C-alpha cells in the first residue's frame, strides 16, 4: 500500500489560508492496539444532528466479537480485512471495515476533519483486494454507501459498481425526551437480563429461532455469545430478554450505551416466531429504552426501518444503498 502526501490549502476559523502538507500512512489492523482506537474514533466522529457519517459503537463491537466468531474467522483472518489510514501523529483519517466478510460487505468510514484529503480510491482498492467474496459462484464486493454521499457514489460508478435494486440499510431513531407507556406482559411471561441469569444456552437458542437458523447448518452456537460478552462495550444489565411460562427465552433486545455521546443502540432484537404478536418485542424494546434513558441517553438508534419500529415511536433517520461489482473469477 502506497503512502501518500497531500498538499493543499485549508480555510481556518481565522479565515487565513494556510499552505500545508500531510502524509497519510496506511496501517495494518492489530486487534490489541487498534480495537479501542477505532471504537474511540467512532465516538469522536458521531454527529448528533444531520446524517450519521460512520458506524456507532455497537456495530464495531458486534462485528469484531459475535459476527467474526459466528463465521468462524480467526482474528488474524478478520484483521486482514480492516484497513486503517492515519495521520503522522496517529490520528485516524479513514477506515475500511466490514460486518461479514464472507458476504463481501464493506463500509468506508472517514474522519470529517480530513474529508478533503481522504484517499477514497486507495480505500476501494484495499476492499477489492481483501474483502470481496465468492457468492453463488461469483466473486463480489458489496459496499454500503450512504444515500447522498456523492463522492463515494461517483467513485463507485467509475469503478463499475451498480446499485442493487430495493436493497438498502435503514437507520431509525427515537428521542427520549418523552414519557413512555410501558406495556404489560401476558400472564406468565417476565422480563429478565443476562445479569440476573446468564443462561447462554437458552439465549443462543432464542437468537437462532428468531433469525431462522435454528436446526440448520448455520445455527449460531453458544461460543459466539460467549465471545460477544467479551466485547468491551457489552453490558449484561442491558441484555434484556423475556422468559415464557415454560422458562424458555422467547424475545430479546440488547441495547448498547455510548456514554460519551449519550445514545443507545439496539442490536440485536428478535422474537421466537411461536411467540410473536403478543407484545413481547415492544416490551423488550421499551425495557431497553428505559434502562439507557436512566443512564442518561438522549436518543436510541436501531439499524432497521420496519413498520414495527415506526409503530413504537421510531422515525427513519437515513439509509444506505447496497452497491455491487462482479469480478472475474481467476
pTM flag (> 0.85): yes
Quick one: average pLDDT of 144-152? 95
Band (182; pLDDT cuts 50, 70, 90): confident
93/7: higher pLDDT: 93
**Predicted confidence (pLDDT) at residue 330 exceeds the cutoff of 70:** no
Higher pLDDT, 13 or 264: 264
Q: What is the 3-state secondary structure (H, E, C) of the chain?
A: CCCEEEEEEEECCCCCEEEEEEEEEEEECCHHHHHHHHHHHHHHCCCCCCCCCCCCHHHHHHHHHHHHHHCCCCHHHHHCCCEEEECCCCCEEEEEECCCHHHCEEEEEECHHHHHHCCHHHHHHHHHHHCCEEECCEEEEEEEEECCCHHHHHHHHHCCCEEEEEEEEEEEEEECCCCCCCCCCCCCCEEEECCCCCCHHHHHHHHHHHCCCCCCCCCCCHHHHHHHCCCCCCCHHHEEEEECCCCCEEEEEEEEEECCCCEEEEEEEEECHHHCCCCHHHHHHHHHHHHHHHCCCCEEEECCCCHHHHHCCCEEEEEEEEEEEEECCC
Average pLDDT over residues 125-145: 96
- Asked whether the predicted pLDDT for residue 279 surpasses 70, the reply is yes
What average pLDDT score do residues 292-303 get?
98
pLDDT at 328: 87
User: What pLDDT score does 18 carry?
Assistant: 31
Mean pLDDT of the region 174-182: 92
Residue of 181 and 272 predicted with greater confidence: 272
The chain-wide mean pLDDT, for the chain, equals 92
Structural domains of the chain ordered from first start: 4-170+321-327 (3.40.630.30), 178-297 (3.40.630.30)
306-329 pLDDT, tens digit each: 999 999 999 999 999 999 999 987
In terms of pLDDT, which residue wins out, 330 or 74? 74
Amino acid at each position: 500500500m502506497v503512502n501518500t502526501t497531500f498538499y493543499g490549502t485549508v480555510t481556518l476559523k481565522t479565515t487565513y489560508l494556510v499552505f500545508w502538507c500531510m502524509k497519510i500512512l496506511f496501517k495494518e489492523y492489530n486487534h490489541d492496539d487498534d480495537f479501542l482506537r477505532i471504537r474511540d474514533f467512532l465516538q469522536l466522529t458521531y454527529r448528533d444532528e444531520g446524517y450519521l457519517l460512520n458506524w456507532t459503537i455497537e456495530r464495531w463491537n458486534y462485528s469484531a466479537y459475535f459476527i467474526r466468531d459466528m463465521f468462524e474467522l480467526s482474528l488474524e483472518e478478520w484483521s486482514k480485512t480492516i484497513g486503517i489510514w492515519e495521520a503522522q501523529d496517529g490520528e485516524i483519517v479513514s477506515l475500511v471495515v466490514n460486518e461479514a466478510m464472507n458476504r463481501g460487505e464493506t463500509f468506508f468510514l472517514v474522519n470529517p476533519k480530513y474529508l478533503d484529503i481522504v484517499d477514497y480510491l486507495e480505500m476501494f482498492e484495499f476492499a477489492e483486494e481483501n474483502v470481496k467474496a465468492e457468492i453463488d459462484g461469483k466473486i463480489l464486493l458489496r459496499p454500503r454507501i450512504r444515500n447522498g454521499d456523492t463522492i463515494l457514489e461517483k467513485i463507485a460508478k467509475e469503478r463499475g459498481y451498480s446499485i442493487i435494486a430495493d436493497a438498502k440499510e435503514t437507520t431509525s431513531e427515537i428521542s427520549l425526551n418523552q414519557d413512555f407507556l410501558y406495556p404489560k406482559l401476558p400472564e406468565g411471561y417476565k422480563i429478565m437480563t443476562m445479569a440476573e441469569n446468564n443462561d447462554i444456552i437458552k439465549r443462543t437458542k432464542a437468537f437462532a429461532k428468531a433469525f431462522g437458523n435454528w436446526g440448520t447448518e448455520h445455527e449460531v452456537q453458544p461460543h459466539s455469545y460467549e465471545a460477544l460478552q467479551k466485547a468491551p462495550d457489552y453490558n449484561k444489565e442491558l441484555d434484556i430478554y423475556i422468559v415464557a411460562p415454560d422458562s424458555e427465552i422467547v424475545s430479546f433486545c440488547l441495547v448498547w450505551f455510548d456514554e460519551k455521546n449519550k445514545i443507545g443502540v439496539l442490536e440485536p432484537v428478535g422474537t421466537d416466531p411461536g411467540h410473536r404478536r403478543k407484545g413481547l418485542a415492544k416490551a423488550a424494546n421499551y425495557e431497553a429504552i428505559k434502562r439507557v434513558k436512566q443512564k442518561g441517553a438522549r436518543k436510541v438508534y436501531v439499524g432497521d426501518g420496519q413498520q414495527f419500529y415506526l409503530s413504537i415511536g421510531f422515525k427513519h433517520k437515513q439509509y444506505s444503498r447496497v452497491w455491487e461489482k462482479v469480478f472475474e473469477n481467476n
